[in-house]
Amino acid sequence: MTTFINTRCPVGLAIFGLASSVAVAQHQGDIGVAVDGDRLQVFGPIGGDDTGGVFLGVFGDTGFPGFTSNPGFDAEPGALPAGRVGFRVLDGLRRWDSDLGSWSTPPEVGERLEISFITLSTVVEDTAIDGFDLAVQPDGGWHRHLNFELLDDDLGWREPGVYRLDLALYSTMGLADSEPFTIAFDFDADADEVEAALASLGPADACPGDLDGDGVVGGGDFGLLLSAFGTPDPAADLDGDGTVGGGDVGLLLSVWGPCP
């Protein structure tokens, strides 16, 4: 099981933007930022196993409910050319539905997420939105902790659970955007819920349909799918619509035979 590491950076530094402009070491748990060829690259979390573009934040870890400044972003000195780096939000805010074993669509989530840095602010609701960019440090590093705050819904309520934010980084230096990555935020969720939500964001199955893991999509897999028919079992829900049904049978039959 992959270990996710959370930083504990003082709230004051994040709120007032006073993070050091000269980084002597990268901060454990941050999202690594670098340049790979002609594009930005995201990796990490720093100090842990590479999670394939999935990172974990915990609301309340700095003592304020519904607020965190973690994970931060950290490029080593000399990693970036002069310019600015920013973020794009690729989808609206989503929440893990434990009953269905899938992510709610953004319109189903009444809460919003504010992302801010000093006077800059972006509020994530139901759709994709461009965020803001911040200057690369004079030493070529980029260590920034944004403020993430979960905002109440229209009834003044924030539902406990795991919230999902899909992002990509952009630059003003002519570099291509980073690959998409995800931050999952734990807001008073239980451990099993967090584990299931993170597992759903893991690398795609190299052989979809091989439910029994024997390297072949065949009769055993068909039997497992039929036994889960009509349920929200995420392992057998090959088309990701929340229910194991005819569409999943069709997908399984389309990949029948030895795995690639």
Residue listed under structure tokens 């990555």? 181
Q: What gap in Å lies between CA 251 and CA 143, rounded to an integer? A: 44
Structure tokens of 235? 């392992």
Give yes or no for residue 188 having a pLDDT over 90: yes
In contact, 74 and 33? CB cutoff 8 Å: yes
Give yes or no for residue 49 having a pLDDT over 70: yes
The CA-based dihedral angle spanning residues 128, 132, 137, 138, taken in that order and rounded to the nearest 10 degrees: 120
Rounded percentage of the chain residues whose pLDDT exceeds 90: 67
Q: What gap in Å lies between CA 84 and CA 238, rounded to an integer? A: 40
Give yes or no for residue 13 having a pLDDT over 70: no
pTM to 2 decimals? Answer: 0.73
In contact, 170 and 133? CB cutoff 8 Å: yes
3-state SS of the chain: helix, strand, coil percent to 5? 15, 30, 55
pLDDT digits (tens, 9 = 90+) for 189-243: 999 999 999 988 876 556 788 887 777 899 999 999 999 999 888 778 888 787 8
In contact, 95 and 161? CB cutoff 8 Å: yes
pLDDT digits (tens, 9 = 90+) for 131-187: 999 999 999 999 999 999 999 999 999 999 999 999 999 999 999 999 999 999 999
β-strand 147-151 against 67-68: which pairing, if any?
Answer: antiparallel
Give yes or no for residue 121 having a pLDDT over 90: yes
